[in-house]
Structure 1
Amino acid sequence: MFTRKILVVEDEKILASNIISSLQKLGYYVSEITNSGEEAIKKVAETHPNLVLINICLAGEIDGIDVADIIQNHFHVPVVYLTEYSESKKLQKNQLSEPFSYIVKPFIESDLHFAIEMSLHKHQSKKMLMLHEEKERLRAIINSMGCGVIVTSANGCIQMMNPIAELITGWKQSEALGKNLVEVVKLVDKDIGETIGNLATYVIEAGEVVNLPENCILITKDGKEIALGDNVAPIRDQNGHITGAVLVFQDITKRKQTEAQLIHNAFYDGMTALPNRVLFLDRLRQTIERSKRKSDYYFAVLFLDLDGFKEINDRFGHGIGDDFLVAIARRLESCLRGWDTVARFGGDEFTILLEDIKDITDATNVAKRIQDSLGLTLNLNGYQLSTTASIGITWNFSNSNYDEPATVLRDADIAMYRAKRQGKATYTIFS
């Protein structure tokens, strides 16, 4: 059976002895007895009593410090004052006039017992009220947060969900209460294609905050996939013991889409949707490195400039000109293998990277297919349009010392201008 610990603060030895005897008869355990307010504070800190029974004369200020105030408000221990009848009348004019906060000497054991129990009951009720108010305040804060919040118990089962969490997961709190977290929050790591286990259980065991994986996907109640971000953290009580976990998360689908769009914009031409100069140079750099590791790995670069595109722009306008370039981009793609790269290098210039070719014939065959394809008439807004191209070709067999993409492009560009000078609508191999 739990025995309540009482600290007695009384400087009258006989009275203190009688009080201790009465307390023991009533079933209380007297943890300490002291005769000064200063010593009382030390004993409270050391023994953590359930209640302090203190002579009103020893409960005042010591060097500007209110003994009773520290015991009640700092250590959160209830205090019952021992006072004479004459002193009790003074109490009615200050904060100590609260019912059951003091007992007048001399007193009988039943009065002492009643005063102690009522004080403990009041203290417990106050604690419960404060705890309830704190929980309600915490609930209001969580419910007003702009991200999803799910609180679990120490065994990883759901105790609370806020409205945003309900909205994102598709689960109502009433449905989710008591369920294992993984039943409600089904997560998949898209990078490795694996289901993620109960993160609440993991952080409780690890005792540390865990961030959700970079490409974390939530499978909602109705089967939708939502990109999630944020973390799971252990919940600790005032003694540092882990009592559960809190998952804080938000739908980052739009952010992921924006990031993907920014990446796409950085590496692809906005009009034709072909790789741009940056991406082409990166792929060419990787191809050069690959050719250095394999002596029989050949590649070719074609530098292509449309013949007469300026006249199309001037005659039919930039709108038709842009549509024409988009159509040309699709035709160029159709002339290549799936692993080759065609990029818009700028204006009406395009570059093509042919990887893993047998010899230069593979590159010249592609150049011929491109010329044949470009020669077919295009119908754009009622206009019948066609074009040709001047194409420069270089490949790594012609210069086994290619180390930089810029050098490869320079040689292909030189070859393209030679083709222009030869009358256009043709290709030239750099040598």
Structure 2
Amino acid sequence: MKLHQKKPSDSRKDVVKSLAETELHITAEMAIDQHKINKQMQEEQQPMVAIINSMQHAVIVTDTHGCIQFMNLMAEALTGWYSKEACGKSLAEVVQLIDKDIEETIENLATLTIVTGAILHLPDNCVLVAKNGREILVGDYAVPVRDSNNNITSVVIVLQEVTQRKLIESQLLQNAFYDGLTALPNRALFLDRLKQAVERSKRRIDYRFGILFLDLDGFQEINDRFGHAMGDDLLVAIARRLESCLRSGDTVGRFSGDEFAVLLEDIKDINDAINVAKRIQDTLGLPLTLNGNLISTTASIGITINQGGGDQPEKLLQNADAAMYHAKQQGKARYAVFDVIVKHDSQE
């Protein structure tokens, strides 16, 4: 029997072929295992993804380079970007934020969070510029995610539209501090600004401010003759005229009925306050046409100014009120200065 021996080259080919087949088999097994792992991870992540997608807040996850890895459905709706087109992009490209108080763009929020290593809250007046250019008031925060070794592995950004909330807050503020009819500051807001003026006078010995207390002459007769609706229209018109007589830094408020108060900031002396009172009387003395009716009205005005750091806001208002009643006793369209009244009474 004749045996055939393989040539050395044939043996090497067989070995290479065997190794290649083994490597291919191992690679295939690894791919299958990786697929199983990925599938298992996806199955494990599905409940969490479903939970995040059901949230009423926009949730965005970035890597440590500030690039988007995940967006929930609310984030897609808020930004106008689909997750599949946003993933991999820089957060700053998709989530464009502007601090409207200072008109400055907020840089990549994820990167800022990683640098600080702390939770970052958005400014109070922050807008998101959506993909279509629409500006949306948003709030909430960005938080770093850490592993067991306390290393930051990602950043989660949570956003929510706060337009409606801001409108409600604004309305509550309006109701609390402004008169519903004239939109002027009410007594509470006027007193707050008066208290601030008193505090400034404590820090600056040369700081002077004046208070005018006004009461319309004959307002009740107008109400009785033309009705309350006309009376309300008159009060609104008076409010606008009072505003036109003042500087931007001054305050005019409506206290109740036909009573108004004026705070004159940073004046030289009592003469400045008297000049404003005269200007108000001249302006109010001009006839008004309301609903086809020609109406004329005047005001009695009491005046006082601060005396120093020991002034009390309520006391100053009382002094101006007392001066107003003194003026009304003298006749219509008059003003009186509290200090003069005190001196006159002390001499009697």
Name the aligned partner's letter for residue 324 of structure 2: M
Partner of 1:411: 319
Deviation at 1:284, TM superposition (A): 1.3
CA distance in 2, matches of 1:199, 1:177: 16
Partner of 1:129: 39
Asked which structure has the greater RCO (Cα within 8 Å, sep 6+), the reply is 2
Name the aligned partner's letter for residue 296 of structure 2: S
**Is the counterpart of residue 387 in structure 1 residue 323 in structure 2?**
no
Partner of 2:236: 326
Q: CA separation of 1:426/1:153 partners in 2, compared to 1, >3 Å: closer, same or farther?
A: same
Q: Find the partner of 1:216 among 126, 131, 144.
A: 126
CA distance in 2, matches of 1:239, 1:368: 75
CA distance in 2, matches of 1:340, 1:240: 55
CA distance in 2, matches of 1:125, 1:185: 33
CA distance in 2, matches of 1:251, 1:345: 37
Deviation at 1:381, TM superposition (A): 1.5
Instruction: Name the TM-score, length of structure 1 as normaliser.
Output: 0.67
CA distance in 1, matches of 2:33, 2:66: 33
Structure 1 unaligned blocks of 5 or more? 1-118
Name the aligned partner's letter for residue 313 of structure 1: N
Q: Find the partner of 1:230 among 135, 140, 164.
A: 140
Partner of 2:225: 315
Contact 2:201 2:308 (8 Å CA) reproduced: no
Deviation at 1:178, TM superposition (A): 1.2
Name the aligned partner's letter for residue 283 of structure 1: R
Partner of 1:183: 93
Partner of 2:56: 146
Deviation at 1:236, TM superposition (A): 4.7
**Is the counterpart of residue 299 in structure 1 residue 217 in structure 2?**
no
3-state SS, counterpart of residue 265 of structure 2: strand
CA distance in 2, matches of 1:400, 1:204: 52
Partner of 1:80: none
Deviation at 1:196, TM superposition (A): 1.9
Structure 2 unaligned blocks of 5 or more? 1-28, 340-348
Contact 2:211 2:304 (8 Å CA) reproduced: yes
Instruction: Name the TM-score, length of structure 2 as normaliser.
Output: 0.82
Q: Find the partner of 1:342 among 239, 252, 259.
A: 252
Deviation at 1:173, TM superposition (A): 2.4
Partner of 1:39: none
Contact 1:402 1:408 (8 Å CA) reproduced: no
3-state SS, counterpart of residue 358 of structure 1: coil
CA distance in 2, matches of 1:370, 1:332: 7
Partner of 1:360: 270
CA distance in 1, matches of 2:266, 2:116: 50
Matches within 5 A, 1:194-273: 194-236=104-146, 242-273=152-183
CA distance in 2, matches of 1:352, 1:366: 10
3-state SS, counterpart of residue 332 of structure 2: coil
Name the aligned partner's letter for residue 270 of structure 1: G
Q: CA separation of 1:202/1:266 partners in 2, compared to 1, >3 Å: closer, same or farther?
A: same
Q: Find the partner of 1:279 among 189, 192, 204.
A: 189
Partner of 1:19: none
Q: CA separation of 1:128/1:224 partners in 2, compared to 1, >3 Å: closer, same or farther?
A: closer
Name the aligned partner's letter for residue 354 of structure 1: L
1:105-133 Cα offsets, whole Å, 9 max, x none, are xxxxxxxxxxxxxx999987654433121
Q: CA separation of 1:420/1:402 partners in 2, compared to 1, >3 Å: closer, same or farther?
A: farther
Partner of 2:12: none
CA distance in 1, matches of 2:114, 2:200: 47
Contact 1:284 1:405 (8 Å CA) reproduced: yes
3-state SS, counterpart of residue 275 of structure 1: coil
Deviation at 1:425, TM superposition (A): 1.6
3-state SS, counterpart of residue 266 of structure 2: strand
Q: Find the partner of 1:421 among 329, 333, 336.
A: 329
Deviation at 1:417, TM superposition (A): 0.6
Contact 2:202 2:309 (8 Å CA) reproduced: no
Q: Find the partner of 1:288 among 194, 198, 215.
A: 198
Q: CA separation of 1:272/1:150 partners in 2, compared to 1, >3 Å: closer, same or farther?
A: same
1:198-257 Cα offsets, whole Å, 9 max, x none, are 222333455543332333222222333222112222345677654322211111122122
CA distance in 1, matches of 2:146, 2:30: 27
Matched length: 314
Larger Rg belongs to:
1
CA distance in 1, matches of 2:149, 2:310: 67
CA distance in 2, matches of 1:277, 1:286: 14
Contact 1:419 1:427 (8 Å CA) reproduced: yes
3-state SS, counterpart of residue 286 of structure 2: coil
Partner of 1:25: none
CA distance in 2, matches of 1:357, 1:341: 13
